[in-house]
Amino acid sequence: MPQGAILSLGQCWQLAQAFYGPDRRAPEWRRKTVDEIEALFAEMGFTSPFWRLR
């Protein structure tokens, strides 16, 4: 079985804040686009093929 990806707990907390910080009750809330998620992953240093979305 492939190993998958391993994050530190601090990285996971950063990811959680980035994804779930915005208030989903707001009418203007929308899911992040693939481009936005890829940019976020790149910013966090998640550049391996595991994190590719397409």
Partner 1 sequence: MNIDPATLPFDQELRHFVYDQTMKTGASPTIAETAAALSTSPAEVQASFHRLADAHMLVLQRDTGEILMANPFSAVPTPFLAQVDGRTYYGNCIWDVMGIPAMLRRDAVIQTSCGDCGTSMILRIVNGSLEPAVGIAHFAVPAAQWWADIVFN
Give the Cα separation of 12 and 46 in Å (integer): 12
Q: Identify residue 27 by its one-letter amino acid code.
A: P
Q: How far is the CB of 31 from partner 1 (least distance, A)?
A: 6
In the window 1-54, what residues touch partner 1 (CB under 8 A)? 4-13, 15-17, 19-21, 23-27, 29, 31, 37, 41, 49-54
Residues in the chain: 54
Q: How far apart, in whole angstroms, are the C-alpha atoms of residue 13 and residue 3? A: 21
Using CB under 8 A, list all residues that contact partner 1.
4-13, 15-17, 19-21, 23-27, 29, 31, 37, 41, 49-54
